[in-house]
Structure 1
């Protein structure tokens, strides 16, 4: 079983923002694999289903970004998964160009408060993540304002492709093809 968590902020106010790209990817997975994400449990909206023969829990924490670890900890404990091998977290990354994705098996929070909170609640940084590039904040912009801002029309097209790539990466990971996903999606350029 895999738990696939997309990070974001609850409420319609944050829909379509850079910081909610994790929710967008979960919505894509939900749509593609017909897994409704509509049950409130473990401080998240969750859905249970199957992707390529593997049982999955899709989750969108409803704790707000900076407290995402509270929900993730509950999910990991309740479903008794090995978070080092069966947890995938999808989130925005300002150090990646718009539309790029990067898969990692472990690592620091890189300044992302949601990941920082997950690491604090798990007690380690060894879990798979799919980072979706939302672009570097322009000079003079406040970081919070930037990540809570919306994409331009051109950026939105690149983000649609990134979401599709993230869905494929998650599917590959669930089949045990993490290294293949990294080779395919972590390329430069």
Structure 2
């Protein structure tokens, strides 16, 4: 059975629960809810496992806070013996329009602190990531307030459809492979 580690990035605690920066947690929570899965608090995060069509998706919500995500990702990759090609990091992206997806097999951190830490921990940027657009609708100097801010009512109403699409993209990554998933979901 082929195994994948799906790491949704976010910050722990109710203060951050519904913020834009926590879209990685939100995507994984959506998948877990719709697949009737339960989370278990374990070393360095919360874990649940989805089995689908001969694939195992180990979903991780790190408890290390966003800026130290690499420690949890590396630990679970090693513990579950998962290669970097079977990792998928789900995170927010300010440079993409709200709800737009960009899945890549490698790249830069783009200034994202969670991705910077994963890159530093793994020793390079050659790991797959799924960026979920949160847009850049903030005034100069207000970036931190924006990413740590809660979704607007308009965004909330659109999130339902986007989360379902994100669930499909994560499953496609494991079932159809990175290239097919990028072709089917990037820019959508």
Q: Please give the TM-score of this superposition, normalised by the length of structure 2.
A: 0.93
Secondary structure, aligned partner of 1:175: helix
Gaps of 5+ in 1: none
Give 1:7's aligned residue.
9
Deviating above 6 A after TM superposition, structure 1's stretches of 4 or more consecutive aligned residues are none
- Distance (Å, rounded) in 2 between the aligned partners of 1:25 and 1:164: 9
CA-to-partner distance for each residue in 1:78-134, whole Å, 9 max, x for gaps? 111111x11011010000111111111110000100000001001121221111111
Aligned to 2:178: 178
Task: State the 1:141 CA deviation.
Answer: 4.1
Please report how far the alpha carbon of residue 40 of structure 1 lies from its aligned counterpart in structure 2 after TM superposition: 1.8
- After the TM superposition, which residues 64-75 of structure 1 pair with which residues of structure 2 at under 5 Å, given as runs? 64-75=65-76
Match in the other structure for 1:17: 19
Could you tell me how far apart the structure 2 residues matched to 1:178 and 1:60 are? 21
Alignment map for 1:132-171 (pairs within 5 Å): 132-171=132-171
* CA distance in structure 2 between the aligned counterparts of 1:163 and 1:26, rounded to whole angstroms: 9
Taking the TM superposition and a 5 Å limit, the aligned residue runs for 1:10-159 are: 10-41=12-43, 43-83=44-84, 85-159=85-159
Q: How many residues align?
A: 186
Quickly say closer, same or farther: Cα 1:187–1:146, change in 2 above 3 A: closer
Structure 1 residue 162 displacement after superposition: 2.0
TM-score (norm 1): 0.93
Task: Provide structure 2 residue ranges, at least 5 long, that are not aligned to the other structure.
Answer: none
